[in-house]
Amino acid sequence: MAIEILMPALSPTMEEGTLAKWLVKEGDEVKSGDILAEIETDKATMEFEAVDEGTVGKILIDEGTEGVKVNTPIAVLVEEGESADDIDTSSKTSDADKGSDTSSDNGSTESSLDDTDTDKPMSSQPAASMPEPEPVEDPEIPEGTEMKTQTVREALRDAMAEEMRGDDTVFLMGEEVAEYQGAYKVSQGLLDEFGSKRVIDTPITEHGFTGLATGAAMGGLRPIVEFMTWNFAMQAIDQIINTAAKTRYMSGGQMNVPVVFRGANGAAARVAAQHSQDYAAWYAQVPGLHVAMPYSAADAKGLLKTAIRGDTPVVFLENELLYGQSFDVPVMDDYTVPFGKARIWQKGDDVTIVSFGIGMKYALEAAEKLAADGIQAEVIDLRTLRPMDTKTVIESVKKTNRCVTVEEGWPVASIGATISSVLMQEAFDYLDAPVITCTGKDVPMPYAANLEKHALVTTDEVIEAVKAVTYK
């Protein structure tokens, strides 16, 4: 019986990869453990081993092919006497979808993030393409500025590299940031350019290196601390809040702590409760901290540069699912984005949708679908949560008279709850409907694929909320 060899998923969030190299050819005999191919993900190049024995009957995907979806058949193993030509594989490509949820909103968490793909086989899924409205307001980008397409990952790396070139006291430390080139490859290439004095692998010791970086900041340096994910920073939260955030105040303004804490925040994919938490509301509560949670690559770059330059400790919340997403980034010598200034992604008169970080994905998807129903949403990306640009939100609500907030974190004491409270106090007379806060569900993140999808906020929930506040 012939066996199909499928494109493997080599990380929790991998959805596709490049088949970099075949190490076997048709006709080769292979046994379990033999290396068949090298597969390149956005994070690493991995060797792919055979699990079964047989002869390589047919190679279905040529080496060098990019964007090969997980679970796509890439080769066929045959047993003695079989011929590869007898095997029909073309009808089986849809197997790639197996294992993912087949409910109606399939794709809202996963495939929709892959808009940069040109040839994805998941055509059966609802069109979940990323709406790309023209940015309405962004005074930081002069008119006519050249743009280039960049992933969030590259934008973050460029921001660090540019700031490190400009200031010798800026350095990066964290687990696997140097020789491994970053657990999520955000720091790729930095060790080569800046050397081991400035790109420093730490032991696995979050509490310790967070305190150490905070001390180094007090001692005259400008550390960037990468947490592999923010989940691990809970081991270090005392140093972030009790030392970094409060020292300036406790010293009567004598001592600044110019440190940036950054890393992946929020749910990734199928990593369950201890590795899937959004800390936006937690850190946004702390005076003395600045908190950024960018969505686009341009904002990731501009905000990170601002963060590194500032003298205030910054909590910089990134998202693993966004790292590989591409956006237009302005080609400018020194592109920075100020903290405390929201960005209006699209204008609309019927409802204000406020979000930030990965929540913007749901907000923009919802806005696009709502537009088809004749509802024009104004979509605001807060970009930073402390300071928070509530003024832009209030001004928008004065026009639309309705507001829906979208975030991935838990509902109690959420960012949405804060926005709602601000609107109650400062725009009460303008509201024609109660503010609805769309959030992650009030549960620890489950592992099962279908449960995880429903634990997160969904595009459908945003649409439903908008219809409720617009009485449609």
Partner 1 sequence: MAAAKSPKKSNTSKEDLLSFYKEMLLIRRFEEKAGQLYGMGLIGGFCHLYIGQEAVVVGLEAAASEGDKRVTSYRDHGHMLACGMDPKGVMAELTGREGGYSKGKGGSMHMFSTEKHFYGGHGIVGAQVPIGAGLAFADKYLETGGVTFTYFGDGAANQGQVYEAYNMAELWELPVIFVIENNQYAMGTSVQRSTKSPSLWERGAAYGIKGEEVDGMDVLAVKAAGEKAVKYCRDGKGPYILEMKTYRYRGHSMSDPAKYRTREEVQKMREERDAIEHVRDLILQGKHAGEDELKAIDKETKNIVNEAADFARESPEPSLDELWTDIYA
Cβ atoms within 10 Å, residue 147: 13
One residue of 290, 301, 369, 402 binding partner 1 per CB under 8 A? 290
Residue 207 is a catalytic residue:
no
Question: Can you read off the two tokens belonging to residue 331?
Answer: 């080609």
Question: Can you read off the two tokens belonging to residue 353?
Answer: 């949708």
One residue of 253, 374, 412, 471 binding partner 1 per CB under 8 A? 253
Q: Which span (13-21, 285-293, 346-354, 442-450) binds partner 1, by CB under 8 A?
A: 285-293
Q: Residue 171 interacts with partner 1 (CB under 8 A)?
A: yes
How far apart CA 200 and CA 175 sit, in angstroms, is 8
Q: Residue 167 interacts with partner 1 (CB under 8 A)?
A: no
One residue of 121, 135, 215, 338 binding partner 1 per CB under 8 A? 215
SS3 178: coil
Q: Residue 436 interacts with partner 1 (CB under 8 A)?
A: no
Amino acid at the residue 375: I
Q: Which helix (H) or strand (E) holds 281?
A: helix 280-284
Q: Which span (35-43, 92-100, 244-252, 409-417) binds partner 1, by CB under 8 A?
A: 244-252
Question: Can you read off the two tokens belonging to residue 12?
Answer: 């929790």
Number of residues in the chain: 472
One residue of 68, 217, 291, 445 binding partner 1 per CB under 8 A? 217
How far apart CA 106 and CA 101 sit, in angstroms, is 6
One residue of 61, 130, 218, 234 binding partner 1 per CB under 8 A? 218
What DSSP string runs through 83-95? -GGG---GGGGGG
Q: Residue 212 interacts with partner 1 (CB under 8 A)?
A: yes
What DSSP string runs through 273-319? GGG----HHHHHT-TT-EEE---SHHHHHHHHHHHHHSSS-EEEEE-
66 φ/ψ angles, rounded to the nearest 5 degrees: -95, 160
Nearer Cβ to partner 1 (341/402): 341
Q: Shortest distance, CB of residue 290 to partner 1, whole angstroms?
A: 8
Question: Can you read off the two tokens belonging to residue 306?
Answer: 């601002």
One residue of 91, 143, 254, 471 binding partner 1 per CB under 8 A? 254
Q: Which span (41-49, 151-159, 310-318, 346-354) binds partner 1, by CB under 8 A?
A: 310-318
Cβ-based neighbours of 252, under 8 Å, separated by 6 or more: none
Please identify which of the residues 275, 365, 407, 454 carries the catalytic annotation: 275
* C-alpha closest to that of 14 among 277, 269, 272, 271: 269
How far apart CA 77 and CA 3 sit, in angstroms, is 5
* C-alpha closest to that of 204 among 225, 174, 182: 174
User: Would you give the binding string for partner 1 spanning residues 112-151, x where CB under 8 A is met?
Assistant: ----------------------------------------
Cβ atoms within 10 Å, residue 411: 16
Residue 275 is a catalytic residue:
yes
Q: Which span (77-85, 203-211, 400-408, 427-435) binds partner 1, by CB under 8 A?
A: 203-211
Helix 415-426, helix 390-400: angle, nearest 10 = 60
Q: Residue 411 interacts with partner 1 (CB under 8 A)?
A: no
Q: Is the omega angle on the peptide bond into residue 387 within 30 degrees of 0, that is, cis? A: yes
Q: Which span (65-73, 145-153, 212-220, 344-352) binds partner 1, by CB under 8 A?
A: 212-220
Q: Residue 207 interacts with partner 1 (CB under 8 A)?
A: yes
Q: Residue 340 interacts with partner 1 (CB under 8 A)?
A: no
Q: Residue 252 interacts with partner 1 (CB under 8 A)?
A: yes
Nearer Cβ to partner 1 (93/169): 169
Please identify which of the residues 206, 368, 407, 461 carries the catalytic annotation: 206
Question: Can you read off the two tokens belonging to residue 105?
Answer: 């909103």
Nearer Cβ to partner 1 (174/324): 174
The contact set with partner 1 (CB under 8 A) reads: 169, 171, 197, 202-203, 205, 207-221, 238-239, 242-243, 247-256, 258, 287-288, 290, 310-312
Catalytic residue annotation:
206, 275
